Homo-oligomer: A and B are copies of this chain.
Amino acid sequence: MIKEIINSKYPISKNSLNEIESLVELVDYGKGETFIKKNRRNLKEYFLLEGVCKSYLINPEGEEITISFFNEKSILSPYTTRTQDEISVINFQALTNTKLATIDAKEFERLMIDNLEIRNFGNTVLRNELSQKVEKEIGLASLTAKERLLKFREQFPMLENLIPHTDIASYLGITNISLSRLRSDLAR
């Protein structure tokens, strides 16, 4: 399962794969559980085996802002990009019941240093993280809300019927009322 996820990003040899798999631990989280908390210590990398997650922040008005969604069989944002001095700078929540594989981030860093394949894999994940952000940024800056919704549907086909629309609305940068309007608009 992890093999499948890794190979979908950057294929690596059987050996390298074994190095990673020897470090893996499995964890389950229930629907609604926030398993990476902002301002709390966290030292893990995550593979999302089953279920759906989001990352989010609280804005100055106290509202939850969805930053990203994560589909089944994907990799959550790399440790380096969401952690400062071993303290998380963002929240991750299970939107459904989930199964995750975790690796100690320091041990994975060591693997990246020692093993070129794993390093390339890690850097690919990193770059993908960035380019997704750039793409979302471009969307927010230059698409209408309707276009952003259509793009969201392509990227996360099942989510609209699975999770609260409030989460989707804040991801799209609109109110949930606007989202509802767009939905009925697109339905006819």
A residues contacting B by CB (< 8 A) are 57, 59, 61, 63, 65, 67, 80-84, 89-90, 113, 119, 123, 126-127, 129-131, 133-134, 136-138, 140-142, 170-173
Contacts of A138 in B (CB 8 A): 57, 59, 65, 67
Q: List 21 A-B contacts (CB under 8 A).
A: A59-B142, A63-B142, A65-B138, A65-B141, A65-B142, A67-B134, A80-B123, A81-B127, A82-B130, A83-B127, A89-B131, A90-B134, A113-B113, A113-B119, A130-B130, A133-B134, A136-B137, A140-B140, A140-B141, A140-B173, A142-B173
Contact A130 B129 (CB under 8 A): yes
Contacts of A141 in B (CB 8 A): 65, 140, 170-173
User: Given the complex of chains A and B, what is the CA–CA distance between A123 and B59 in angstroms?
Assistant: 26
**A110 smallest CB distance to B (angstroms):** 11
User: Given the complex of chains A and B, what is the CA–CA distance between A172 and B142 in angstroms?
Assistant: 10
Contacts of A82 in B (CB 8 A): 130
Contact A126 B81 (CB under 8 A): yes
